[in-house]
Amino acid sequence: MDAAQQQLQSLSWSDAAYLAPEWILIAFTVVLAVLDLFLPRRSSLTGWLTLAGLLISLGTVVWRLTELVDAAKQIDAGGQAVSGVIRIMADSYRIDYFSSLLKIVFLVSTALIVLMSLGTVKREEITDKGEFYYLLMPAVVGAMIMASSGDLITLYIGLELLSITTYVLVGIRKHAVQSAEAAFKYVVTGGISSALILFGMSYLYGVTGATNLGAIALGIKEHGVDYPAILYVAFFFILAGLGIKIAAAPFHYWAADVYQGAPTPVTAFLAVVSKGAAFAVIFRIIYNIAFYASSPGKPIADDVFLVLFILAAAAMLVGSTMALRQYNAKRLIALSGVANAGYLLIPIGLSIKGMHASNFGEFLFYLAAYLLMTIGALAVIAVVGRSVGHDEVGGFSGLYYRAPWTAAAMIVFVLSLAGLPVTGGFFGKLFILLGAAQTHDYWIAAVMVVSSVISYYFYFGLIRQMFMRATIDNDVKVPVTTGVVIWLCAAATVMLGIVPGPVLGWINSHFSIVNDLFVR
């Protein structure tokens, strides 16, 4: 009996119950796909049911996380703390703090995006709103699978599920030429990304004869370092493929066109959920495999972490400088996302040096701040764009006088994106900066500071438009659901800026790199 059959037979009904968050979303997808056949095209029922499915799935993830917390408080017969990690199908699928916290981020993000879309998607020329909503849920399932995968096969399945559904979502405005162009570019670059990742994975399998991350790490420790050239090719191809997914320079050229051409809720999904899922994969692969890829005279792991720093530096500088000449708000957010991809790469590249081991806490805190400020900013862009008929930065002219509260919320998001107090973005960048300083990686900290300073110019350009430019006659009408999203994101952004310590402390106190990240 081969390993695949053993893994398949090991999936029991009790194990399947652990997959309740994913099953719930799949069930809602099927029900909504059938229900959409009988509903009128203008009905918003599918949107509300999608939101309900996401919240139910979120509730099960939170409930499972509380069980993990309670299990970790127990002591075994040997006096050691009990690991609450749930391993399914020979550790091919894991439920741990790492995956659970990321799933919460994905589900909260998608719920906010759906709520935002209920007030804006009707103006996005989408002919079939039901299709738009029930395609979001399998995309989230793909992201959740990527976060929980402990095996290259399940990881790739999640990656393709996320990719294929987002290809359709980007081009869902069937009569918009710009949307069709964005979908074509996204399919091409996404296909290249998948090919690069699969090619790198094939080399890892060729060296170790395994697809499980733990088994690959063991194989590399035993004899993988005898093939350093192959390991270099494997890691660098995987990083290049995932670099496309996270839109890190120099793999970012698709992002601005795709973000601009896609419907604004889809842009938000790509900017947060799709990017976050790719980061989850980078965390899993690098921390499970790269650590064991070095030997005397062959510093493969050090070179991999150095490449992560180089990618981070390139993303921060290229994203910030290219945004200086952008006048389209959605393209501006895309290039801001390139720079933020660089910020999020730094905690991964820091590795575990000296006494620094809070990489995941720093990463997750900034990812949470990033989701709030990005979704909130895109919600404001959607509202302003609907009032003026375009997404150019000039549409924000005199916004403070037309919609003062919406302008105030946008100021919060801009300050957080720029990394200024008192916002979640400020402390997110500060924690990452302090981590880099603690490990004596001063050069990447300096690049981060320079990038942040450059970004002030275009971020404050939005504020200048809102306060110091002539008022446009168009009224800004904020739909109730979109307004709820804007103010939820603004309030949470400020809250993260007021109490950052307890949030980061809770993550670090419960997360364990050995138990929650390493596949054994």
pLDDT in tens, 169-188: 998 887 788 888 999 999 99
C-alpha 289/C-alpha 519 separation (Å) is: 9
C-alpha 263/C-alpha 270 separation (Å) is: 11
Q: Is residue 373 classed as helix, strand or coil in its secondary structure?
A: helix
Q: Which amino acid is at 445?
A: A
Q: Judge contact between 277 and 162, C-beta under 8 A.
A: yes
C-alpha 448/C-alpha 492 separation (Å) is: 24
Instruction: Decide if 275 is inside a domain.
Output: yes
- Selection from 323, 326, 334 nearest residue 452 by Cα: 323
User: What was the pLDDT predicted at 122?
Assistant: 61
Pair of tokens at residue 255: 């992002």
DSSP 335: H
Q: Is residue 472 classed as helix, strand or coil in its secondary structure?
A: coil
- Selection from 108, 16, 2 nearest residue 58 by Cα: 108
- Taking residue 257's Cβ as centre, other Cβ atoms within 10 Å add up to 18
Domain total of the chain: 1
Helices of type H across 358-423: 359-388, 399-402, 404-418
User: What was the pLDDT predicted at 175?
Assistant: 78
Pair of tokens at residue 517: 């990240």
Q: What angle (nearest 5°) sits at the alpha carbon of residue 359, between those of residues 91 and 58?
A: 55
User: What was the pLDDT predicted at 2?
Assistant: 46
Instruction: Decide if 337 is inside a domain.
Output: yes
User: What was the pLDDT predicted at 432?
Assistant: 94
Instruction: Decide if 360 is inside a domain.
Output: yes
DSSP 34: H
C-alpha 496/C-alpha 426 separation (Å) is: 9
C-alpha 165/C-alpha 246 separation (Å) is: 17
Q: Judge contact between 268 and 375, C-beta under 8 A.
A: yes
**Count of residues in the chain:** 520
Q: Could you give the angle at which helices 404-418 and 442-468 cross, rounded to 10 degrees?
A: 160
Instruction: Decide if 421 is inside a domain.
Output: yes
C-alpha 246/C-alpha 16 separation (Å) is: 31
Start-to-end CA distance of the chain, whole Å, equals 22
Helices (H) then strands (E): counts for the chain: 22, 2
Q: Which amino acid is at 296?
A: P
212 strand-pairing partners = 151
Give phi and psi for 134, each to the nearest 5.
-80, -5
C-alpha 377/C-alpha 336 separation (Å) is: 11
User: What was the pLDDT predicted at 128?
Assistant: 65
Residue with tokens 């795709």: 258
Instruction: Decide if 9 is inside a domain.
Output: no
C-alpha 229/C-alpha 298 separation (Å) is: 10
Q: Is residue 309 classed as helix, strand or coil in its secondary structure?
A: helix
C-alpha 460/C-alpha 454 separation (Å) is: 11
C-alpha 66/C-alpha 64 separation (Å) is: 5
List the chain residues with pLDDT less than 50: 1-9, 76-79, 124
DSSP 224: G
C-alpha 416/C-alpha 324 separation (Å) is: 18
Q: Is residue 398 classed as helix, strand or coil in its secondary structure?
A: coil
Instruction: Decide if 290 is inside a domain.
Output: yes
As a dihedral over the C-alpha atoms of residue 108, residue 109, residue 115, residue 118, rounded to 10 degrees, the angle is -150
Q: Is residue 81 classed as helix, strand or coil in its secondary structure?
A: strand
Rg from Cα positions in the chain: 22
User: What was the pLDDT predicted at 126?
Assistant: 63
C-alpha 252/C-alpha 32 separation (Å) is: 34
Q: Print the domain residue range for 473.
A: 14-517
User: What was the pLDDT predicted at 193?
Assistant: 95
Q: Judge contact between 493 and 425, C-beta under 8 A.
A: yes
- Selection from 241, 147, 258, 155 nearest residue 191 by Cα: 241
Q: Which amino acid is at 146?
A: M
Q: Which residues of 396-433 are buried (b: 16+ CB within 10 A; e: fewer)?
A: bbbbbebbeebbebbbbbbbbbbbbebbbbbbbbbbbb
Q: Judge contact between 75 and 101, C-beta under 8 A.
A: no
C-alpha 175/C-alpha 158 separation (Å) is: 30
